[in-house]
């Protein structure tokens, strides 16, 4: 599928937007940036790294807006509501991993607005733009 998108982008001149994640960074502690070496330690992380390399080496104009955990206000993938806050009425919050670790989240509508804002200034972006989305950090003191 990536090769087909690359082909279409090369023919049309379109810029591809990728919802980047942090799998690429493996077990490295953050904060991460576009300068952080990508050392994935999982299959998903290696696939994401390979896909990004494919876009870059093909010369496709690409915007990667990299974020932590994507969350939405509803739907079956709502980790915050379905898992973390399910016992909130009982006075309990479930954390994913170490509660003292910083874990960034990206509220999907905010992430989409950031994509639009970046595309509105596309003439200032490099052909391969790798941008970090600074989402909110929950539970960190």
Higher-pLDDT residue of 26, 58: 58
Higher pLDDT, 68 or 71: 68
Task: Tell me how far apart the alpha carbons of residues 94 and 25 are, in angstroms, rounded to a whole number.
Answer: 25
Give, in order, the Cα–Cα distances in Å from 45 to each of 24, 52, 77, 124: 5, 11, 20, 29
Q: What whole-number percentage of the chain has pLDDT above 70?
A: 84
The C-alpha atoms of residue 104 and residue 87 are separated, in whole angstroms, by 21
DSSP letter string over 82-134? IIISTTGGGT----SS-TTS--BEEEHHHHHHHHHHHHTTGGGS-SEEEEE--
Contact 105, 83 (CB under 8 A): no
pLDDT at 141 over 50: no
Using the predicted structure, report yes or no on whether residue 131 has a pLDDT greater than 70.
yes
* pTM, rounded to two decimals: 0.81
The listed range with the strongest mean pLDDT (22-31, 36-45, 103-112) is: 36-45
Residue 106 has pLDDT above 90, yes or no: no
When pLDDT is averaged across residues 27-36 and rounded to a whole number, the result is: 82
Please report the sign of the dihedral spanned by the C-alpha atoms of residue 4, residue 10, residue 12, residue 14. Answer: positive
- Domain residues of the chain, as ranges? 2-67+122-130
Give CA–CA dist 125/114, Å, rounded: 14
């Amino acid at each position: 599928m990536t090769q087909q998108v690359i082909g279409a982008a090369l023919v049309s001149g379109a810029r591809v937007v990728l919802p980047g994640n942090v799998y690429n960074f493996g077990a490295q502690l953050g904060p991460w940036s576009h300068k952080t070496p990508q050392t994935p330690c999982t299959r998903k992380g290696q696939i994401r790294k390979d896909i990004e390399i494919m876009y870059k080496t093909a010369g496709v104009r690409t915007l990667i807006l990299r974020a932590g955990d994507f969350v939405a206000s509803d739907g079956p993938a709502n980790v915050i509501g379905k898992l973390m806050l399910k016992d909130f009425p009982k006075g309990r919050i479930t954390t994913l991993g170490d509660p003292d670790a910083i874990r960034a989240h990206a509220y999907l509508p905010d992430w989409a607005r950031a994509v639009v804002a970046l595309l509105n200034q596309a003439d200032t972006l490099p052909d391969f733009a790798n941008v970090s989305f600074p989402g909110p950090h929950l539970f960190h003191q």
